[in-house]
Amino acid sequence: MNTPARLKALATAVPEHVMRQSDALPAAARLFSQQATEISPRRLARIFGNTAIETRNTCETLDWYLQSHDFSDRNGLYLKHAAALLQRAAEDAIAEAGLTPGDIDMIVTVSSTGIATPSLDALLVENMPFNRDVQRLPVFGLGCAGGVQGVARAAAMARAQPGSNVLLLVVELCSLTLRHGDRSKSNIIATALFGDGAAGAVISTAGTGPAITAWGEHTWPDTLDVMGWDAGGDGLKVIFSRDIPTIIEQDFQAAVDDFLERQGLSREQIDHFVAHPGGAKVLDALEAVFGLPHGGLGASREIMRRHGNMSAVTVLFVLQEMRRAGLKPQQRLLLTSMGPGFTAAFTLMEAD
């Protein structure tokens, strides 16, 4: 049980449509101008500009988002696109690990932007040659924390059955949660932030790859209304509290230090912070917590610039960006993200 789980492979996938922020802003202005919203065109431009996002990938074309669609239509598209993106990510990750679908023993699937029963992994089993006794664990409701928590859950399963191959799949189609008639500031901010994407990883105690050495979480009291979904008649309504950067500035450092202390470490012993880029203000707050200069979370900012906020998937894109840039042996990485609860999630890795 002391053998660490390792990240044998990691793959990412995005839908084909590229939405430029310079095109999304005038489209959003047209959409919200029809709804007597209190957000002025000048303030809307400031919201979009402050995201530091240039492009996002979306499941549908820009024109589609300007039309009203009921929840049934949007969830049908979620099932279609999520299954396709997950298959791409799964095939690439399995191939990178030098395996076949038949070598996968367990599948952990994380998503919070749609409803799937049968679950997304069941749909995937119908389209890929997995063994029929493959174990499946679909996880819903973790929000933006789901990528970090998904790595932790998959690593725990791999350690519980040494030598097994666990396939972690994460997909979020945030753009499909746009509520056409919602005038709330949360919906408008989501319109400026959210993109779509998927990631797949193979985790096992066998073979080589960065070791997943520890994981943990911290859930603050009386914070259930900070982040999440409200279920309305026309689907899932995003909840964003304006207090998120403040919570990070005031409380996140203690949670990070407590987790690291339990591992016998300090922030100074972390070589790379792999942070979910929830937004520009969140990144500013995280850099201050980690003792980094402005722009110190360069990989997180770069993924935010190219892909926007893809919820749980985003942190795995950041990790992939760092892997491609090159990791030195024995460098420590701390994956962090925040999600509904309000919860901070941590996973510690060490490059081989």
- Residue pLDDT, tens place only, 242-266: 778 788 888 999 999 999 999 999 9
211-350 sits in which CATH class?
A: alpha beta
Domain ranges of the chain: 5-204, 211-350
Q: What is the mean pLDDT of the chain?
A: 92
* pLDDT at residue 311 in the model: 96
Residue 144 annotated in active site: yes
* pLDDT at residue 190 in the model: 85
Q: Could you check whether 5-204 and 211-350 share the same CATH topology?
A: yes
261-286 pLDDT, tens digit per residue, is 999 999 999 999 999 998 888 899 99
Q: How far is 66 from 238, CA to CA, in rounded Å?
A: 18
Identify any residues that bridge with 143 across adjacent strands, giving them in sequence order. none
Q: What is the DSSP string of 111-140?
A: --SS--SS-HHHHHHHHS---TT-EEEEE-
List the catalytic residue out of 106, 144, 154, 188: 144
Q: How confident is the model at residue 29 (pLDDT cuts 50, 70, 90)?
A: confident
Q: How far is 346 from 343, CA to CA, in rounded Å?
A: 10
- Among 3.40.47.10, 1.20.1090.10, 3.40.630.30, 3.40.50.620, name the CATH number for the domain at 5-204: 3.40.47.10
Q: Pinpoint the alpha helices (H) of 12-70.
A: 21-33, 41-50, 62-65
Provide the percentage of residues in the chain whose pLDDT is more than 70: 98
131-183 pLDDT, tens digit per residue, is 999 999 999 999 999 999 999 999 999 999 999 999 999 999 999 988 777 77
Q: Model-level pTM?
A: 0.94
